[in-house]
Structure 1
Amino acid sequence: MTHQHSALSLMIGRTLMGVLFFVSGLNKIGQFTSIASFMASKGLPAAEVLLAATIVLEVCGSLALIAGWRVRYVAWTLLIFTAGAAVIFHAFWAAEAATYQNQLNHFLKNVAIMGGLLCLSTVGSGSWGIDERKPEKE
């Protein structure tokens, strides 16, 4: 694979990953009250504060991924966030029989997202991201 193809693949991968978090964050704004109540029902303290922080993380993190800015750090942050969400909200091992398969699917989706984020945390933004821009010589 040529350097240009690698750079393009990384940019597309970052963008696709970013879109997922961007849409998720925006959707939470319109459903703030019901999602905060759901989070509280899972035993999370200060659910409204945590939800606001989640929205900021998802929206800002997604834009950083798409732009290729601080990709390694953002990927690790989103990976840890996604792992927590998987364990707290998609605990298939504790699900009732009627919801077991759905929760398992969501958990595995999060595992796959974590795999993509781990790859991004390793390779960074690629040459088509802000992180890799070299300052021009004067």
Structure 2
Amino acid sequence: MTRPVDSGVIFIARLALSVLFLWSGVMKLLGYAGFVGYLQATGVPFVQVGAPVAVAVEVLGGVFLVLGFKIRPLGLFMAAYCIVTAVLGHDFWNVTDAAMQRDMVIHFCKNVGMAGGFLLLYVTGAGGISLDGARAPRGGRGLR
């Protein structure tokens, strides 16, 4: 069982992670043609499948984070998603322009850091301020 302060901190962490995904997913949706063009220009495979999947993952993942719904499986899934998008979308090792390479390194590391945050959510669960917490049986042991 988590302490109230732990649940509050986990809630803030979920919101902090959700901001990036909700913003990014909505911006990809609003500028969908540009997003698809970017993916094609960077050589991402299966763009016609990957683009709608990326938008759905980011928007739905962001909503699930806010609500605290299915956080443990979401944490594992989003950690993997962050690593895959780091490798496919921020391949700094293929960039020759120094300024662009620096930008790609920053984005790559950001994705790796977010993956770490998602792995922590996998371990902690959603906390008490969540749909998962509201559905958890009371009096159990361990973190919700």
Q: Normalization by structure 2: what TM-score? A: 0.86
Q: Which moved more, 1:38-47 or 1:61-70?
A: 38-47
1:120–1:106 CA distance, 2 compared to 1 (3 A) = same
**Residue of structure 2 equivalent to 1:104:** 105
Q: What is the aligned length?
A: 136
**Alpha carbons of 1:99 and 1:83: their partners in 2 closer, same or farther (altered >3 Å)?**
same
Partner amino acid, structure 1, of 2:63: L
Residue segments in structure 1 that go unaligned for 5+ positions in a row: none
Aligned partners of 1:58, 1:6: CA distance in 2, in Å?
25
CA deviations over 1:101-124 (Å, ceiling 9, x no partner) = 111111111111111111001111
Deviation >3 Å, runs of 4+: 134-137
Q: Which residue of 2 is the match for residue 87 of structure 1?
A: 87
Q: Alpha-carbon deviation of 1:38?
A: 1.5
Distance apart, 1:136 and its partner CA: 8.5
Q: Does the aligned pair in 1 maintain the 2:17–2:62 contact within 8 Å?
A: yes
* Partner Cα separation in structure 1 for residue 113 and residue 43 of structure 2: 26
Identity %: 27
Report the Cα distance in structure 2 between the residues aligned to 1:32 and 1:48, rounded to whole angstroms: 11
- Return the alpha-carbon distance in structure 1 between the equivalents of residues 100 and 38 of structure 2: 16
Gaps of 5+ in 2: 139-144
Instruction: Tell me how far apart the structure 1 counterparts of residues 136 and 88 of structure 2 sit (CA, whole Å).
Output: 43
The reply on whether 1:19 has 2:24 as its aligned counterpart is no
Alpha-carbon RMSD across the aligned residues, in angstroms, is 1.9
Is the counterpart of residue 44 in structure 1 residue 54 in structure 2?
no
SS in structure 2 of the partner of residue 44 of structure 1: coil
Partners of 1:37 and 1:134 in 2: CA distance = 42
- Using CA pairs under 8 Å that are at least 6 residues apart, name the structure with larger relative contact order, 1 or 2: 2
Q: What is the CA distance between 1:44 and its match in structure 2?
A: 3.0
Residue of structure 2 equivalent to 1:118 = 119
Give the AA of the match of 2:10: L
